[in-house]
Structure 1
Amino acid sequence: MPIVLIMRLLVVLLALTAVVLAEIEDYDIDLVPDESSSEIDSPIKSAGQIQPRFIISWQVRRQLKKLRKRMPCGFPDQGVPPLAPYRLEELKYDLKTSLVETINDIFRFKVDGLDNFKIKKFTLNIIKRRVQFNFLFKKIRLTGKYNTNTLVKALNDLGVNVRYEGQGDLDFSLEKLQVSGNLKYKLPILIGSAKITEFYATVEVGNCKSNITGLAGEGKYNRFLNDKLESSVVSGINDNKDGVSAKIEQAFVPRVNKALKGTNFWDIWDYIFNSGSKEEEEGSDVDDDICIPPPDPWA
């Protein structure tokens, strides 16, 4: 009986895959087509027939809309706090290089703008098991209060004891932040879990605005240090794409694979083709899961 069951499952899989591939010209599904596209309104093409690639595309758009709406509340069941804005009561950051050793304490750290993004590209290639993406964040702003204790080691080696202690307000923005790249995945049919096998993302920033107080008083030298910080951040991100990508991969892939543990092809297939009612398939965005953001703890 197990062999018969497996054979039946394989036959169903081949049939469903054939249906999907028959609807894809070059095996690419544009999951988030341009707003001018006729595919953006409904997954139903004609005579009540729903094409699989339209359902997949529509479901992805629907889930992204729900994601934006849920970001102010977070995802407590997955241990994710509110993300729009993201708040952290205290953050400690240590930096050690050949020239500088610094210890920084940041209080009431807040990140705004994580939900203000545009999807420029998001495509799925079933044959290559690859997703290509391009997200553009209009503006991500970081605010808070900080204390710093910095030791300039290079001058200490010359017998000059240089230590700087300061505090002030943190106000720092990244504008036109673009994250693009691709990932490859494994999606087993019967045994094993879905997982990301390869991931690469490049990050580019258009501009940086720094208005940090207390770096060196409130005069021209403080402004000079902010200007130097702005140019250093832009060049540090844009000229070190491989290094930034490696850090994103280290932070992103393990967490996603952990969340995908226990999920296989049939779980995802069932979700795509059976989630939602007839009204949802026709384009309704009714969502009973209303997000009520928590109050500002620092108001």
Structure 2
Amino acid sequence: MKFLLVLLALVAAAYSYEFQERLNGYDRSLSSQITDYIENIRTQMPCGFPGLGLGPLSPARLSHRNIALNSSGLVLAGEIDDFTLYGLDDFDFSVKINVLLSRVTFNFHWHKVHFVTNYKMDMNTGNRINAGRNGGAKFAIEDLKIVGSAKYNIIGKVRLREFKASATIGDVNSEIENLSKIKIVNKKLNQIIEEWILLAVNENTSEMEEMANDFVVPFVNDLIGDATLVDIIAKIAGGSGGDGGNGSGGESEECIPPVVALTDAI
């Protein structure tokens, strides 16, 4: 009897080990597919995604945009011209899927994201300050890290159940001209902007997770709609990435990034 129990235990352990190995292999396979998909997106970013109506994203350019803000006694009205954003494709990442726990964990690290632009801005704070400013602006964020996880349900309706994400920043560099006509004051104001952004991001990771969950979960579930798991896998495997996002079908053309002027760098 003892021999039989031991034999059954060994058989159960063998099946359990085999089952776990199969799960681990499935996890690695799915994680690899997602990694390849993100790599394809990164490679395509300098050329954009015409099928989605998106132009080049690295660098991303905007010729003109009006800006208006009216909140708590602060009124801002102005515009930005010749806005160029660099570094969206300069990131490392890892994505891991655990099929048994229905969970995805991710880690993204942007080395440096920065922009250059020209601006005009009128500011009014009631009876205290009424000023107009204009000039050039350069702004950079270094060592931007976004980490998080997502839990999903694929039994019955495909649904995202939970999404957690938080960010940290290593350094901020602000070079906005003419915040003040006095150079030393202008430098100090830029330092205040840098310190405020660092604190606002690095000291509020739990609030970020809550905000991300409240926004992303309903948005993704609405986007999924009644799509089945097969539909979603088909899109990830090749439906939206295989043609470089141009919606033309067939083999994708090689993305040849445009030449970027060295004078644009911060």
Q: Does 1:146 align with 2:119?
A: yes
1:81 maps to amino acid? G
Aligned 8 A contact 1:167 1:214 in 2: yes
Question: Is the alpha carbon distance of 1:104 and 1:203 closer, same or farther for their aligned partners in structure 2, counting shifts above 3 Å?
Answer: farther
Q: For residues 242-297 of structure 1, what are the alpha-carbon distances to aligned partners after superposition, in whole Å with 9 as ceiling and x for unaligned?
A: 4444555566556544554454222355678899xxxxxxxxxxx7431245688x
Give the superposition deviation at 1:94: 3.4
Q: 1: distance between equivalents of 2:213 and 2:259?
A: 33
Alignment equivalent of 1:201, drawn from 165, 183, 200: 165
Task: Quote the residue 2:175 is aligned against.
Answer: 211
Give the deviation of 1:100 after TM superposition. Answer: 2.9
Inter-partner Cα distance in structure 2 for 1:270 and 1:23: 25
| Post-superposition offset of 1:234 | 0.6
AA partner of residue 203 (structure 1): A
Residue 88 of structure 1: aligned partner: 62
Q: Select 1:171's aligned residue among 131, 134, 138.
A: 138
Shift in Å at residue 93 of structure 1?
3.5
State the match for 2:247 in structure 1.
Answer: none
- Judged with a 3 Å threshold, the aligned counterparts in structure 2 of structure 1 residues 274 and 85 are, in CA distance, closer, same or farther, namely closer
SS in structure 2 opposite 1:60? helix
SS in 2 for 1:74: coil
**Residue 109 of structure 1 aligns with which residue?**
83
**1:178 and 1:129 mapped to 2: Cα distance?**
24
Q: Which has the higher contact order (CA 8 A, sep 6+)?
A: 2
Secondary structure of the residue aligned to 2:198 is helix
Contact 2:140–2:174 (8 Å) recurs in 1: yes
**Other-structure match for 2:8:** none
Distance across 2 between alignment mates of 1:63 and 1:248: 23
In 1, Cα distance between equivalents of 2:59 and 2:81:
15
User: Which amino acid in the other structure matches residue 68 of structure 1?
Assistant: R
Kindly report the root-mean-square deviation, in angstroms, between the aligned alpha carbons of the 2 structures: 3.3
Query: Which residue of structure 2 aligns with residue 162 of structure 1?
Result: 129
After TM superposition, the structure 1 = structure 2 runs for residues 65-80 of structure 1, keeping only pairs within 5 Å, are 65-80=39-54
Q: How does 1:242-261 map to 2 (within 5 A)?
A: 242-245=206-209, 248-249=212-213, 252-253=216-217, 256-257=220-221, 259-261=223-225
Q: 1:77 to 1:246 in 2, by over 3 A?
A: farther
Aligned mate of 2:108, from 131, 135, 140: 135
Indicate conservation of the 8 Å contact 1:55/1:273, yes or no.
no
Work out the CA distance in 2 between the residues paired with 1:274 and 1:113.
26
Deviation at 1:103, TM superposition (A): 2.4
How many pairs were matched up? 235
What is aligned with 1:186?
153
8 Å contact 1:20–1:52 — kept in the other structure? no
Cα offset for 1:58? 2.9
1:222 lines up with 2:195 in the alignment: no
Task: State how far apart, in whole Å, the 2-side matches of 1:179 and 1:144 are.
Answer: 25
Aligned-pair distance for 1:215?
1.1
Please state if 1:267 is matched with 2:231: yes
Same amino acid, percent of matched pairs: 27
Contact 2:26/2:99 (CA < 8 Å) preserved in 1? no
1:63 lines up with 2:30 in the alignment: no
Instruction: Quote the Cα distance in structure 2 between the aligned partners of 1:148 and 1:88.
Output: 17
Cα deviation per residue 1:5-36 (whole Å; 9 max; x = unaligned)?
xxxxxxxxxxxxx9995425xx6x6xxxxxxx
Q: Shift of residue 130 of structure 1?
A: 1.4
What code does the residue aligned with 1:77 have?
Answer: G
Give the distance between the partners of 2:29 and 2:207, measured in 1 at CA: 37
8 Å contact kept, 2:68–2:78 = yes
Output the TM-score relative to the length of structure 2: 0.73
